[in-house]
A and B are shown apart, each in its own frame.
Chain A
């Protein structure tokens, strides 16, 4: 798995606050603000908060959440995913996927647990059950 492939090709990747890459409870967190954007592939050991606009591929060992108003055209691989904004792309969640009431998700989903709140919009295929893990974790 090539971590070096993480392309820093963003027009304006930034940390919205000072805690762009902060450690919280021993867990690293990558936080984006509403005016940030990122294009490319991100492999991150920690959690990611997506806001603004992202495009590409996100592979995250921790949790990933997409804020309200954010647009993401990405394929996602993460432990837990919470979507409140717009996501277009395949979503691979090791544990739980939550779609908030304003969420819009179009893409195929593989997940163990699924929660969809009233008002969310989903288009795609859902497969529940244990995900076959990739042989190498990274």
Chain B
């Protein structure tokens, strides 16, 4: 998760969360306070008001007593959503407490904090390059107006023989497929009774057109 701290704070070196100064700083957004935007706090934050936007805090965040946060929350220490708190947004925290009665929706990722967690390196598998089939000149020439097929179609790239791209690896045989368990023998199905031969099948009556179609016919 990218840091949301504003540019003005970029000069600050180590986060103060583990330092003695700043650790005890505490900020509160009261019940009538309202924040729209991004907030970065070195210290703790208590939200009793409304926040629409992202919060990043080096200490703990507490949302309670009607506090409502809509947006992502990052807390290096702990996030507490109290029984009267509401949080809607993705959360990245070291510790999380949600009290019964709280409202909370979003993605949660917990664990030790690493500065800018490294993305897993994606192994880009090179797709086998399709061999472009050279344009069949013979076909083109057959067309009556195609006097100069080379100009019209410009088949230059196709003309060069494409190097055989990496040979396609043979598909690895599946390793040790689990042996199929023997299916339990199916309980013998009752033999179907022979249907009684219909006596002298009557020809189907033509449907009466003025009858509305019946739903859920019983049989």
Specify the chain B residue showing the minimal Cβ separation from A124: B108
User: At the interface, is chain B mostly helix, strand, loop or mixed?
Assistant: strand
- Per the 8 Å Cβ criterion, residues 139-196 of B in contact with A are none
Judge whether B109 is part of the interface by a CB distance below 8 angstroms. Answer: yes
Contacting pair A126 B100 (CB below 8 A): no
Contacting pair B110 A128 (CB below 8 A): no
Judge whether B76 is part of the interface by a CB distance below 8 angstroms. Answer: no
CB-CB < 8 A to A126: which residues of B?
Answer: 104-108
Shortest CB-to-CB span from B1 to chain A, Å, is 14
Give the total of A residues in contact with B, Cβ under 8 Å: 19
CB-CB < 8 A to B106: which residues of A?
Answer: 125-126
Contacting pair B99 A120 (CB below 8 A): no
A106-138 Cβ-contact flags toward B at 8 Å (1 or 0)? 000000011111111111111111000000000
A128 CA to B100 CA, complexed, in Å: 12
- Inter-chain CB contacts under 8 Å: number: 44
Judge whether B68 is part of the interface by a CB distance below 8 angstroms. Answer: no
User: At the interface, is chain A mostly helix, strand, loop or mixed?
Assistant: strand
Contacting pair B99 A115 (CB below 8 A): yes
A121 CA to B79 CA, complexed, in Å: 12
Contacting pair B103 A119 (CB below 8 A): no
Shortest CB-to-CB span from B118 to chain A, Å, is 17
- Per the 8 Å Cβ criterion, residues 48-63 of B in contact with A are none
Judge whether A96 is part of the interface by a CB distance below 8 angstroms. Answer: yes
CB-CB < 8 A to B97: which residues of A?
Answer: 116-118
Contacting pair B105 A128 (CB below 8 A): yes
Contact of A123 with B109 at beta-carbon distance under 8 Å, contacts A118-B78, A118-B95 already known:
yes
CB-CB < 8 A to B107: which residues of A?
Answer: 124-126
Shortest CB-to-CB span from A109 to chain B, Å, is 9
A121 CA to B78 CA, complexed, in Å: 12
CB-CB < 8 A to B109: which residues of A?
Answer: 123
Chain A residues within CB distance 8 Å of chain B: 96, 98, 113-129
10 contacts between A and B (CB under 8 A): A96-B100, A98-B100, A114-B98, A118-B95, A119-B95, A120-B96, A122-B110, A125-B106, A128-B105, A129-B105
* 8 nearest A-B residue pairs (beta carbon): A116-B98, A115-B100, A118-B97, A122-B108, A125-B107, A121-B110, A114-B98, A128-B105
